[in-house]
Structure 1
Amino acid sequence: MTVFPEGTRVNRVLAFAAHPDDIDFGAAGTLAKWCAQGAEVSYCIMTDGGAGGFDPGDRDGVTALRSSEQRAAADIVGAGEIHFLGEKDGFLAANHEVVGRVVELIRQVRPDVVLAMHPERNWSRIQASHPDHLACGEIVTRAVYPAVENPFAYPELAARGLEAFKVPWLWFYGAPRERENHAVDITAELDRKLAAIRVHASQHPDLEGMDRSVRGFLQENAQRHSLPAGTSAEVFHVVGVNTPATIAGF
């Protein structure tokens, strides 16, 4: 089942993640496809990534290293601007201050599609449900509705010229399987996705093992969503927020 109509034109995308590398694991193939079709894609990384990596000897350099890895990976995908919110890794929380920063960014970019990590815990694979991942999804969800489109929410933004904006589509990656309702064939983008993931070498001591695992996950996604044999797919929970099929106001 899919809720995203075939042929829907995507011109502008804003993708959110808790940490550097989350976007590349969850959605880099789909984002590369959109970039190739002419879409403007921006990223927002919410934490500083400072709790990642494996080297105990250079903790002060982790944030700068991971930020540079994310910039290089985005270049492979074709994405443009990257916004770093700089929240402390492991402490991301859905509070009004962070939600306000996300509302501000969405009103600046005014995307057709907002991507975020899923706010629901995945009990089948709890490693996908890092607390920062869940917080990312909750923050973005609160921002998209109702705050971004409510002209009376965060009035200081409107006073600066950042008017309310109705987000058409909210796509979640890393969803529990029971929430998946859309698959994207990324077979043609697979090499680019894997190259983007491999850039984050500071997080993956076994790059070849990571490569095999990701290929397996993507092929399993395609099989589960009845795509042709031999294809690879990214899967999403797609929510229509303001579309011809949605009813707003209650």
Structure 2
Amino acid sequence: MEQGGFRPEAGIRQVLVFAAHPDDVDFGAAGTIARWTSAGVKVVYCIMTDGDAGGFDESHRPDIAAMRAREQASAAAIVGVEDIRYLGQRDGYLEASHEVVKQVVGLIREIRPDVVMAMHPERAWDRIQKSHPDHLACGEAVTRAVYPAVENPYAYPELAEAGLAAYKVPYLWFYGGPRERDNHFVDVTDYVDAKLAAIRIHSSQHPDLDRMDATVRSNLQDNAARGGLREGRSAEVFHVVGINTPATFAGF
């Protein structure tokens, strides 16, 4: 079930989604994103690395980064996203360094979203494949940026001098985290086909698309059951954290 009033029609107008690699966001949140964009929400992607260490076909190596960028653009278009930013970090080497945090702070201050979405910074031991080191670094960098740097005018003062004023992020949504952290279930039944179409675009990464399709469908149905949706529904899951909400006061 949807919890806490996190519906797009309840004030979400702008969302900024961070991912470590091309295709991460499609696995984690493409159904929710399709639901949002269909309701008029503007969504921007930020892919932190170029994905050059991904894939399984040796013949793709010389062009893999450009190939993955093309795949991501096509996949994003399926779910209504046109604006994709890249931080240009090296695949497999992503760290929550001050360089990366500053890039994240600058982009959040530019976009000023109602929701920041990112990969989870905690390792999921039930399925460690969710917790690629770059995924964890993505979540940690975004978390460090969201609080306190984005809202602190004295953090990275060169950003403020460049016109990127401090901004208070209302909510931070994590995807791909430990199962026990899931606290928000979004019904994406009407957007499963769009999500799977977006994932299938990333064919350079998936040698068995049919098995991938079946696995994703099964996981979405399992999510829905855990979230209390009726049988036959599908859901994506998130760990939603309030950063600056009516329940917070002066940063506490």
Q: Could you tell me which residue of structure 2 aligns to residue 100 of structure 1?
A: 102
Q: 1:85 to 1:61 in 2, by over 3 A?
A: same
Give CA-to-partner distance per residue, 1:117-167, whole Å, 9 cap, x none.
000000111111000000000000000000000010010011011100000
Deviations 1:31-75 (A, max 9, x none): 010100001100000011000011123312000000000000000
Could you tell me how far apart the structure 2 residues matched to 1:134 and 1:5 are? 24
Residues 20 and 45 in structure 1, CA contact (< 8 A), matched pair in contact too: yes
* Alpha-carbon distance in structure 1 between the residues aligned to 2:249 and 2:78: 38
2:155 to 153, 156, 159: 153
The correspondence for 1:119, drawn from 118, 121, 124, is 121
TM-score of the two chains, using structure 1 as the length reference: 0.97
Identity of aligned residues (%): 66
- Give the residue type in structure 2 aligned to 1:66: R
Task: State the AA in 1 paired with 2:42.
Answer: E
Superposition pairs of residues 13-24 of structure 1, within 5 angstroms: 13-24=15-26
Which residue is 2:58 aligned to?
56
Q: CA deviation at 1:247?
A: 3.1
Gaps of at least 5 residues in structure 2 are none
TM-score normalised by the chain length of structure 2: 0.97
Indicate the SS of the match to 1:148. Answer: helix
Code of the residue aligned with 1:74 in structure 2: it is A
Listed as ranges, the matches of 1:146-225 within 5 Å are 146-225=148-227
Give the Å deviation of 1:80.
Answer: 2.2
Kindly indicate whether the alpha-carbon contact (under 8 Å) linking 1:3 and 1:238 is maintained by their aligned counterparts in 2.
no
Shift of 1:3: 3.6
Change in CA separation of 1:55 and 1:48 when aligned onto 2, cut-off 3 Å: same
Can you list the C-alpha shifts for 1:174-231, whole angstroms capped at 9, x where unaligned? 1211111000000001110010000000100111110000000000000011111100
Q: Distance in 2 between matches of 1:248 and 1:176?
A: 30
Instruction: Give the whole-Å Cα distance in 2 for the aligned partners of 1:5 and 1:182.
Output: 9
Q: Secondary structure at the match of 1:141?
A: helix
CA contact (8 A) 1:151 1:163 kept: yes
Gaps of at least 5 residues in structure 1 are none
Note if contact 2:122-2:136 (Cα within 8 Å) is conserved in structure 1: yes
Contact residue 244 and residue 251 of structure 2 kept, 8 A? no
TM-align CA RMSD:
1.1
